[in-house]
Copies of this chain bind each other. A is one copy, B any other.
């Protein structure tokens, strides 16, 4: 019935009754097991003028009545990769609590500093995790395991580690590149015929994953970005021709910048990777900024780190250790271009440039993100216990679902420049729909 080509691999049939006592009956006020026939419709936009299409369906996540693994024989490992993001500790904590309290698993490994902790050259950097390690960690930002970029390609060594340490469930918390690594690990595990479940928890502060309704930490990030922009606005308004310039996270997707601008109401220009713009010309950015200053004597600009890359001087090719392409620094570029432009016109201005990225990334999750992370972690445990592998756990239409990693990494979630979100940003800022010179 689904039009997706992807299926979720499993390690085998579920023959062990779950230690979690739920019910199959409706009306007894006892929570029900999730059944393997439950699905969630992915695509909900319908155009009545078009012929109806078969629905794309995603499998519902949650605790099954029968599980694949005997809990007494489970060894689980958790690894966090890439940049920090609010909520990492909530996810770690939730995985540990669910394994420990719900399934009775006691053998838990925390891999230190990302994939590198699997490697011999870094001393196989792992720690046994007990309840004491995770007690109040959701109240602090960051990850108690530490993180790093890269090393995802060391598939053989990672699978060796898993086998040698009798790890049969691996929880990988990380972004696009990290999940590609997890997919490779999963494939190698399958090739070897090992019975190790690989479950990904998608992490992307930029909110740029396609099969994830919103990424954890995103709301927290926006609320902190709002504070930074509020400061930029106060600084801008406090000086004659003051300009507040805030660079926010968003390598390929401008969601944080867009959502922040909508929340602030003080932003005059939002520049995002999805919408090209030019600096010069009557309808170019600099001229529009000048008009704004003439009218109001201050301006606030929010720019995604990935915006305007076509305007920057040649950035050396290659990428960072996570496989992300290198970006030129658009914040520094704009600050310089703006200063030069007004200097050449002998207009007195002052640019206050704010880059709040580290302050945002390292914050603890707010209440809503914390709940989300807690549930995400628990659902990833249920997925692993059921013997599923090569999947991420995700939220779609407020339901937790299973998505094959292959599908999840196949396309990036970006702002539709012609859709309602960007339209509302244009309305809120008053900037032209297109700065095209």
Contacts and interface: CB of A to CB of B under 8 A. Distances in A.
Given A44-B44, A238-B143, A423-B31, A213 B398 contact: yes
A283 interface: no
B57 A418 contact: no
A5 interface: no
B46 A239 contact: no
Interface in A81-132: 84, 98, 101-102, 112-113, 116
Interface stretch (A8-16, A162-170, A181-189, A369-377): A369-377
A133 B142 CA distance: 22
A4 interface: no
A1 interface: yes
A346 interface: no
Interface string A418-433: 1110111011101001
A197 interface: no
B240 A146 contact: yes
Given A32-B418, A359-B231, A362-B231, A367 B260 contact: yes
Contact of A263 (B371, B378, B400): B371
Interface stretch (A33-41, A284-292, A304-312): A33-41
Interface residues of A, number: 105
Interface stretch (A64-72, A198-206, A322-330, A350-358): A350-358
Given A31-B433, A222-B367, A358-B352, A142 B44 contact: no
Contacts of A238: 84, 142-143, 146-147, 362
Interface in A378-400: 378, 397-400
A29 B113 contact: no
Q: Which 8 residue pairs spanning A and B have beta carbons closest together? A: A31-B423, A142-B234, A234-B362, A223-B367, A231-B362, A37-B48, A41-B44, A263-B367
Interface of A: 1, 22-23, 26-32, 34-35, 37-41, 44-49, 52, 55, 57, 60, 62-63, 84, 98, 101-102, 112-113, 116, 136, 138-143, 146-148, 213, 219, 222-223, 226-228, 230-232, 234-235, 237-240, 244, 259-260, 262-263, 265, 275-276, 352-356, 358-359, 361-363, 366-368, 370-371, 374-375, 378, 397-400, 417-420, 422-424, 426-428, 430, 433-434
